[in-house]
Amino acid sequence: MILDIKTFPDEVLRKKNEPVAVVDDSVRKLLSDMVDTMRSAKGVGLAAPQVGVNKRVIVVDISAGEDSNSLMKIINPEILELSGEPDVNEEGCLSVPGEYEVVTRPSKAVVRYMREDGTETVVKSEGFLARALQHEIDHLNGVLFIDRLSVSKRETVKKRIRKRISIGDYVAGRG
C-alpha cells in the first residue's frame, strides 16, 4: 500500500521516534508499505516518520528498485562507527521535494540493526550506501539534510521552499 509522504515543515518529521519492541505483523506491514511508497516515489530510502509513523524503522534500496538484492528493511538501527574520508555529494529527500544540496558526510558507516525476522545484523557500508543509511537514521533523530547545511545556505533553501509553497509548486513525491 502506498502511503502519503509528509513534507518539511510537517512537525511529524521532528518528533521523537520510538524503538520497536517486538517485530510483529504490524511492523512487517509498515515495512512493506514503506517499500511500496519508496518505489512509487522512485526514492532510495524512506524513514517511518516520513509516512507519519514515529517508529525507528527505515527502508533503503540504493538501486532504486533495479536490483532486488539491494533492498534493506531496517529496524532499530544504531550507528556503531563512522569513519573514512569526508564524502562530499549532492543529497535530496522525498520530504523536501525538488531541493538538492551538497552535504558532507563520513564515507564509511557501520550500522547494527534488526531484520524483519527479528534477528540482529551488522552492515559495513561505504560510499552511497553509507550516505543513504546516515540520511535515513538522521530522520529517526528528527534531523533533515537541510539541517546539515550552513546557516546561510539553510535559510536560502527555506526561503525558496516558502516561495514554492506559496505558488503551489512544493508537492511530495515530485522530484
Q: Which residues are annotated as a binding site?
A: 93, 135, 139
In order, the DSSP letters of 56-121 are SEEEE-TTTTS-GGG-EEEEEEEEEEEEEEEEEEEE--TTSTT--EEEEEEEEEEEEEE-TTS-EE
- Work out whether the CA dihedral 110, 14, 39, 100 comes out positive or negative: negative
Binding status of residue 62 toward Zn ion by CB under 5 A = no
Q: Considering beta carbons, is residue 20 or 93 the nearer one to Zn ion?
A: 93
Query: Amino acid identity, residue 52?
Result: G
Binding status of residue 157 toward Zn ion by CB under 5 A = no
Binding status of residue 146 toward Zn ion by CB under 5 A = no
CB of 171 vs Zn ion, minimal distance in Å = 16
CB of 25 vs Zn ion, minimal distance in Å = 26
To the query of whether residue 126 is one of the catalytic residues in this protein, the response is no
Binding status of residue 103 toward Zn ion by CB under 5 A = no
Annotated binding site for Fe cation: 93, 135, 139
CB of 135 vs Zn ion, minimal distance in Å = 6
- CA–CA distance, 127 with 120 (Å, rounded to integer): 23
Q: To 5 degrees, how large is the angle CA 154–CA 95–CA 129?
A: 90
Q: Considering beta carbons, is residue 100 or 120 the nearer one to Zn ion?
A: 100
Among 31, 51, 62, 93, binds Zn ion (CB under 5 A): 93
Which are the contacts of 170, defined by CB distance < 8 A and separation ≥ 6?
Answer: 7, 97, 98, 161, 164
C-alpha dihedral (140, 120, 106, 40), degrees to nearest 10: -60
CB of 136 vs Zn ion, minimal distance in Å = 7
Measured at CB, which residue is nearest to Zn ion? 93
Binding status of residue 57 toward Zn ion by CB under 5 A = no
Count of residues touching Zn ion (by CB under 5 A): 1
Residues in touch with Zn ion (CB under 5 A): 93
Question: Catalytic positions, please?
Answer: 136
